[in-house]
């Protein structure tokens, strides 16, 4: 069903409206107890019969699951239908608030019912004076009643729900307090029986009261607050003392938080669920040996803050080497697959620090390879803008040049994620198509056609408009896995100090001043952890390294290296910002 929605993403509005109406009509005909062939579902929604896959297998979908998914598919397809509130028949459609009020449930409960198959339509609401255009969801009243009949008990139960009054809350706390030092669950059952409430609701109430008194606070606050505090270099014992929990609880909560973030990533890439052959894996592993180093020095992130600088750097690099591009692409896909395997193997309840570190390091390495692929497509970006806009990127007004460059880089990042090197094609094909669409959307949003002679922007010098750092927006995990820019600057100063010490003493003194209190050994540790050095420099492997890698090199035990890294990051952050 997700593939069907993706295949119908770009249909014209008229076709999208037909698909929405067919989905709504089909919802009234499906029997939850029956199974239906996938080809029949596609035929009912689109009006055409899909070609067979050639496998000879018949895909059968259970009716109950289809009823839930068709509601989501209807709402997805309605986006392309471009409905407006004024064109919908009066009285036939109701808003979410009106429907929730009629059923006696909350809007949040209605949202949960949408995930259970309640179909809605996304429409453009009437524009209010002085307000922006808004998109809302409306529901066909007759279809909603059919869904309500199907989910009758669930809706009735939700309608009977009511929050505990202050008197009930106080009574529950009084009953639990009178029972003395007993487990919370036992006290909750006794209070629930007296009040006619569910034990789980009373247990949550008692847990909240304990939290207000300062006990049991780790469950809610630690995962978010402790993770941020640890990244700032604050000791786990100090965080635990602040939150009223042990240092071990802080460390475990942070590991759970890191695992939740990793499990929320989509690492399937271009071929979800497809297993690589042994030959493909071997080729990708061999490619990694040729795609290890993408940074010639600690500060080499290939980012130019202005459009003229970006264009000049692209012209210096010229077009990418096909073999290097293939190595980078294979390595990028392999690293994501490895990271997904490592994440899947981590215990959900007791995640190991070593497994988390391995997964995060693989993703940092994947970011570097993706950066190399993006750098290689900058000449294609320039030619794409020239072909679609009719003007060279550097000849546009600074603000327009910045916007179109940012849009193209975002589209390029998505194209790299979808690119499958196993199919043998070059990255330029999907990248060029994605950037062309991005430029077209940008021009449409601007409300301007291609630059004509009468509207051609004048050539300007180096623009003062700063281009957002696209190297920090390539992958979703960079938001929490990339080093702080202040740390990168401090490490760069340490490396410069070490290099200048062999030559100009005055330059070495200046570099040491910029490094602040960060020692060369700690600077090398951070550089190796985040992959900031070329292979061989200060013992670096030319890629991000795990704590296990550093332990094998004799730099210390795992626990000692964790403490040392946190302290070094705190010092480097202070030095880099000074």
Question: What is the residue extent of each domain of the chain?
Answer: 2-159, 164-215, 278-481, 485-577
Q: Fill in the DSSP letter of residue 121.
A: E
Q: What is the mean pLDDT of the chain?
A: 78
Closest by Cα among 38, 59, 63 to 50:
38
| pLDDT, tens digit (0-9, with 9 covering 90-100), for 359-393 | 999 998 888 888 888 888 889 999 999 998 888 88
The whole-number pLDDT of residue 498 equals 64
pTM: 0.58
Tell me the C-alpha distance between 503 and 468, whole Å: 36
Long-range contacts made by residues 492-496, C-beta under 8 angstroms, separation at least 24? 492/297, 492/298, 492/299, 492/532, 493/518, 493/575, 493/576, 494/518, 494/519, 494/520, 494/522, 494/523, 494/524, 494/527, 495/297, 495/298, 495/523, 495/527, 495/533, 495/537, 495/538
Give dist(CA 339, CA 263) in Å, integer.
10
94-112 confidence digits (pLDDT tens): 888 888 888 887 777 888 7
pLDDT at 2 over 70: yes
Length of the chain: 578
What is the reported pLDDT for 68? 80
What number does CATH give the domain 278-481? 1.20.120
pLDDT for residue 408? 92
Pairs from 208-212 (Cβ < 8 Å, separation ≥ 24): 209/173, 210/184
Higher pLDDT among residues 356 and 217, named by residue: 356
pLDDT for 574 beyond 80? no
- Over range 540-568, report the average pLDDT: 86
Half-sphere exposure of residue 516, counting CA atoms within 13 Å on the CB side?
21
pLDDT: is 459 or 123 the higher one? 123
From CA 416, how far away is CA 375, in angstroms rounded? 11
Instruction: Determine the average pLDDT of the residues in 131-158.
Output: 78
What is residue 158's predicted lDDT score, i.e. its pLDDT?
64
- Residue 452 is predicted with a pLDDT of 42
| Residue 505 predicted with pLDDT over 60 | no
pLDDT tens-digit map of 246-281? 888 888 888 888 998 898 888 865 454 445 566 666
Instruction: Specify whether the CB–CB gap between 64 and 89 falls below 8 A.
Output: no
- Concatenated DSSP letters of 515-537: HTT--HHHHHHHHHHHT-S-TTG
The per-residue pLDDT for 224 is 74
With 0-12 / 13-18 / 19 or more C-beta atoms within 10 angstroms meaning exposed / middle / buried, residue 136 is: middle
């Amino acid at each position: 069903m997700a593939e069907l929605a993706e295949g119908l993403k770009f249909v014209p509005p008229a076709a999208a409206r037909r698909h929405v109406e067919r989905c709504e009509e089909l919802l009234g005909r499906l029997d939850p107890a029956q199974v239906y062939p996938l080809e029949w579902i596609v035929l009912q929604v689109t009006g055409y019969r899909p070609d067979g896959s050639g496998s000879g297998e018949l895909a059968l979908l259970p009716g109950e699951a289809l009823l839930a998914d068709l509601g989501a598919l209807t709402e997805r397809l309605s986006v392309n239908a471009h409905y407006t509130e004024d064109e919908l028949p009066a009285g036939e459609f109701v808003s979410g608030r009106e429907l929730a009020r009629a059923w006696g449930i909350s809007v949040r409960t209605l949202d949960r019912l949408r995930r259970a198959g309640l179909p809605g339509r996304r429409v453009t609401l009437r524009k209010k004076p002085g307000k922006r255009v808004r998109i809302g969801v409306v529901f066909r009243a007759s279809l909603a009643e059919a869904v309500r009949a199907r989910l009758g008990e669930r809706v009735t139960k939700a309608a009977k729900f009511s929050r505990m009054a202050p008197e009930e809350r106080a009574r529950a706390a009084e009953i639990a307090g009178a029972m003395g030092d007993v487990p919370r669950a036992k006290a909750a059952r006794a209070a629930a029986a007296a009040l006619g409430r569910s034990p789980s609701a009373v247990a949550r109430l008692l847990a909240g009261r304990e939290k207000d008194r300062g006990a049991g606070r780790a469950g809610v606050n630690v995962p978010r607050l402790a993770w941020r505090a640890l990244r700032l270099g604050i000791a786990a014992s100090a965080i635990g003392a602040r939150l009223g929990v042990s240092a071990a609880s802080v460390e475990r909560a942070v590991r759970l938080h890191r695992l939740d973030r990793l499990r929320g990533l989509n690492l399937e890439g271009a071929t979800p669920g497809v297993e690589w052959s042994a030959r493909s894996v071997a080729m990708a592993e061999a490619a990694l040996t040729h795609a290890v180093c993408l940074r010639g020095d600690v500060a080499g992130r290939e980012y130019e803050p202005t459009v003229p600088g970006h264009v000049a750097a692209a012209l210096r690099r010229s077009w990418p080497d096909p073999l290097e591009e293939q190595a980078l692409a294979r390595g990028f896909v392999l690293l994501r697959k490895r990271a997904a395997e490592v994440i899947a193997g981590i215990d959900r309840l007791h995640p190991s620090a070593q497994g988390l570190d391995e997964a995060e390091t693989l993703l940092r390495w994947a970011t570097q390879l993706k950066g190399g692929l993006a750098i290689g497509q900058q000449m294609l970006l320039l030619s794409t803008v020239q072909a679609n806009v009719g003007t060279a990127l550097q000849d546009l007004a600074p603000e327009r040049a910045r916007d179109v460059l940012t849009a193209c880089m975002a589209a390029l990042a998505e194209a790299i994620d979808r690119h499958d090197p196993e199919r043998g094609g070059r990255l330029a094909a999907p990248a060029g198509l994605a950037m062309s669409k991005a430029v077209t959307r940008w021009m449409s949003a601007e409300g301007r056609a291609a630059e004509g002679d009468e509207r051609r922007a004048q050539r300007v010098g180096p623009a003062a408009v700063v281009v957002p750092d696209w190297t920090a927006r390539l992958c979703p995990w960079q938001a929490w896995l990339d080093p702080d820019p202040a740390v990168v600057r401090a490490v760069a100063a340490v490396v410069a100090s070490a290099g200048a010490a062999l030559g100009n003493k005055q330059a070495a003194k200046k570099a040491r001043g910029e490094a602040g209190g960060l020692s060369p050994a700690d600077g090398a540790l951070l550089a190796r952890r985040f992959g900031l050095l070329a292979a061989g420099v200060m013992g670096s492997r030319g890629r991000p390294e795990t704590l296990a890698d550093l332990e094998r090199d004799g730099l210390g035990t795992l626990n000692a290296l964790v403490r040392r890294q946190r302290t070094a990051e705190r010092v480097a952050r202070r030095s880099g910002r000074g």
